[in-house]
Structure formats: structure tokens, C-alpha cells
Structure 1
Amino acid sequence: MIVAGRSGGEGVRLVLEAEEAMLLSELADQVDSVLLLGEADDPALGRLLPNAYPDDRAAAKEFERYTRDSLVDGKRQAAQRVRDATAVDDGDDAVVQIELDESEAWGWLTFLTDLRLILAERVGVVEEGEPDADETRDDYLRAAYEWAGFVQGSMLEVLDPIST
């Protein structure tokens, strides 16, 4: 994975190995599945769509009624944009170059945040860098969580080099 500034200075250019692009596409499918099919009591869904009023059930229901559909739609659209950009043929072993303008890059960062929230819940990360006591969780998911963080951090360095 190579993350660089776009020619012209605004946005990001991602250079991915075909396997990395396929991984991102599969992970986007997983985010979409959680949003579309997730059970109400799924803690990962709770991280993506937290209760705005935990102490007021009526207010929480009212807030959810007005905001949930648009939040879910926006998150699903971000996942779809990642899937579209990372689509590769199974036999393709070349690199995938993706040019994102600044707006598209921030959309990808939103997706990566959602992805990391789901993966953090699945592997038991309570706070950044603080895994819970369950060390038997899936190493593949833990590696995907760390890799997504690397991609996210690299994109942020390009988009906002002063704050990093």
C-alpha cells in the first residue's frame, strides 16, 4: 500500500496490491452487512449508531426515528464507493491505483472509521491500543483492524499534514 498526494495537491492517490483491494472490498461488504442485517443488540452496530440519549428511552427512540435511516444510508453509500473503487478481477495480479479528490478521501476515512469500530468490537478493543482480556479472538480480524488504521493514518497525513 502506498498513499500519496494527488497531482495537483488536493486529494489522495492510493496504490494497492490486488489482494489489498480485494480485502477492502470484502471488508466493505462486511460493513454493509452489519448495517443492513445487524441485530439491534449487536454491539458493533451499537458502536456505529450509538444511543444519543441513554438515560431517556423516549428521546432516544425519537432521535433514532429521525436520524437512523439517513445515517445508515450514508454509511452504506461510503461502503459502496469503496467497493466500486476496489473492484478487481479474480485473475488480476496487478496493482490498483485509486485517485480520490478531497471529498472522496474524507468519505473513505468515514468508511475506515466505521470499519475499525466494527473490527474493534469483534476483537475486543475497548480503547485504542487496549485489547481486552480475550486473547483468543480472531488474529485475522485484529490484523485487519491494524491495517485499516494504517491506511487511515496514512491518508490523514496526506490530507492534513499539519495536524499529524
Structure 2
Amino acid sequence: MTGGALSVPFASIEGRHLIALLDDFVALLDAPRETPDEALERLAPDAYPDDPAAAEEYRRGTRDDLVDQRISDARTVRTALERFETDAGADIVEVPRADLDGWLRTLSAMRLVLASRLGIDRDDRHDPDDPRFGTYDWLGYRLELLVQLADRLDEE
């Protein structure tokens, strides 16, 4: 992807809500672990499901880099939203093309963590009217919007 930026509409409350989610996500990624966390494990499934020793070696060699990349991506997204902390009138976020992949990875990862916490193993396996799934669905909407905006930018 080269050049351009996406103009992404956000209501002020959405910006503040996403900031809070990002802060929680970074804290979760950055926290020391004494026991495995199923939600975080879902972000890095076993590369070798039939070979536990190889899977563990691969995980040891890649886990820190993967977590560092996720934290960096989340901080990039958060930086783009910082004005929502003080500007109640903020409504458009410019997402540089170079940052789009990080946005997509971050929103997808947060959605996976939520899915794990809520027991969702397939997108169609929850009641859309159940308020516990509102943030999960909203993140999906945001992902879809980013993809649509990127497609439109590609067509220009």
C-alpha cells in the first residue's frame, strides 16, 4: 500500500471507548504471566500442533517479537486517537496508509481476545441482541469500515 490516508469517521464516544480498549489491550499484552492466558494464546496459535516440542521452541523464538509488534501497533492506533481525550468535537481520524495494517492487526487482535473471553468460536455463534457482545460486534464493524475505505482509496 502506498500513499494516501483514510479518513475514518468516529463519534467522540467511540474514540474515547477505543482508547480505553487499547489501554486495556496493551496492559494485557505487557503483563507478566505466571499461567497461560487462553485469550493471548489465541493470538499466537501453535505453529506445530502435532509436535509440542517444536511448537514450544517456535513460541519461545517468536513470542516476544509478536507481542512487541502488537504493542507497537496498538500504540500507533492510540496515538491517532489521542485528541479524543480532550476534543469532544473530534470526528475524523486520518489513518496514514502506512499505519493501516497496524490498525487492522490491532482491532482484529482485540476482537480475538474478546471472542475468547466471551466464548465465541465462530462469528455467527452469539446473540447480536445480547449487550455483552456489543464491543465485539462494534470492533467487527470498525474493521469492515477500514477495509471498505481502503478499497475505495485503491480505486481512486
TM-score, length-scaled by structure 2: 0.83
Could you tell me the percent identity over the aligned residues?
33
Which residue of 2 is the match for residue 139 of structure 1? Answer: 131
The range that moved more, 144-153 or 79-88, is: 79-88
SS of the residue 2:40 aligns to: helix
Q: Which of residues 4, 13, 16 is equivalent to 2:7? A: 13
CA contact (8 A) 1:38 1:45 kept: no
Mapping for residues 32-71 of structure 1, pairs under 5 Å: 32-37=26-31, 39=33, 40-71=35-66
Q: What letter is aligned with 1:87? A: E
**Does residue 1:150 correspond to 2:141, yes or no?**
yes
**Aligned partner (choices 95, 100, 120) of residue 100 of structure 1:** 95
More strand by share: 1
Report 1 or 2 for greater relative contact order, CA contacts < 8 Å, sequence distance ≥ 6.
2
* Residue 160 (structure 1) aligned to one of 145, 151, 155: 151
1:126-145 Cα deviation digits (max 9, x unpaired): 111213xxx7xx834x1111
Q: Which runs of 5+ in 1 are unaligned?
A: 1-8
Higher fraction of helix:
2
Q: Give RMSD over aligned pairs.
A: 2.2
Matched letter for residue 18 of structure 1: S
Question: Where do 5+ consecutive residues of structure 2 fail to align?
Answer: none
CA positional deviation for 1:65: 1.8
Q: Distance in 2 between matches of 1:66 and 1:90?
A: 37
Name the amino acid aligned to 1:26: A
Query: How far apart are the structure 2 equivalents of 1:34 and 1:105?
Result: 22
> Quick one: which of 76, 79, 94 aligns to 2:74?
79
Displaced runs of 4+ in structure 1, greater than 6 A? none
User: Once the two structures are superposed, what CA deviation does each residue of 1:43-90 show, in whole Å capped at 9, x if it has no partner?
Assistant: 111111212122222111210121111100000011111111111365
Q: Distance in 2 between matches of 1:63 and 1:123?
A: 28
Given the superposition, is the C-alpha separation of residues 116 and 75 from structure 1 closer, same or farther in structure 2, using an over 3 Å criterion?
Answer: same
Q: Deviations over 1:17-48 (max 9, x none)?
A: 22111111111112212212264422111111
Supply the distance in 2 between the matched residues of 1:66 and 1:128 (Cα, whole angstroms).
Answer: 31
